[in-house]
Amino acid sequence: MTVKHAGKALLAVCLTSLLTACSQGNGFSDLDKFMSDTRAKPRGHVEPLPEFKAYEAFSYSAADRRAPFEAPVDVQLTMVDEQPVSDVEPDLDRPREVLENFDLKSLVMVGTLQGLEGGLFALIRDASGGIHRVRTGNYMGQSYGRIVGVSETRIELIEIVPNGRGGWVERPRSLSLDEG
């Protein structure tokens, strides 16, 4: 047997004797007394939780009425029998152009072309990927949009839209060059 094995064996014997010596004492007498005293006491009774009534939501039905502390407001009808302000209306008899079948949001300006006479044409890509050439006076968009100006970076147009009272109103719009 080598010295290394002898040292390990001696260490194991010492640890075993130490653990045996520590475990035979009466060091738990106070804990045993506490446990016996606790078991001898009368046991308590826990009351069950009280039953709560369910919350009922209150529905406030006077929200659409006037607040009681505010003065009444006189309402005057201003739109009764009001005639259309302008005589603007779209020309429904003219033939529709191809770009009038697309919503203006789906049309993208992708470039310009210079004509022989010096006129500037804009190149428009529609929602299906087709490229169209337009100039001042052409129509595009579903709201009767007439092109009133073409520059190298944008198209200016006037749309004719309903005003909500039976008439029509002109609305300026523009379409900028898509540089992406």
DSSP state string for 15-26:
HHHHHHHHHTS-
Q: Is the pLDDT at 29 greater than 90, yes or no?
A: no
Percent of the chain residues topping a pLDDT of 90: 27
- Taking only Cα atoms into account, the Rg of the chain, rounded to an integer number of angstroms, comes to 46
Mean per-residue pLDDT for 86-105? 88
Q: Domain-by-domain residue ranges, the chain? A: 98-176
- pLDDT-based confidence at 26, cuts 50/70/90? low
Residue 147: count other Cβ atoms within 10 Å of its Cβ: 21
- pLDDT-based confidence at 79, cuts 50/70/90? low
Query: What pLDDT digit, counting tens, does each position of 113-172 carry?
Result: 988 887 899 999 998 989 999 999 999 999 999 999 999 999 999 999 988 888 889 999
Q: How far apart are CA 77 and CA 70, in angstroms?
A: 21
Pick the CATH number of 98-176 from 2.30.30.830, 3.30.9.10, 2.60.40.1150, 1.20.120.1760: 2.30.30.830
Q: Tell me how far CA of residue 49 lies from CA of 46, 52, 55, 116, in angstroms.
A: 9, 9, 17, 93
Q: Under a CB-based contact definition with an 8 Å cutoff, are residues 87 and 168 in contact?
A: no
Q: How far apart are CA 160 and CA 155, in angstroms?
A: 16
Closest CA to 175 of 98, 123, 114, 130: 123
Q: Is the pLDDT at 35 greater than 80, yes or no?
A: yes
What is the structure's pLDDT at 84?
A: 52
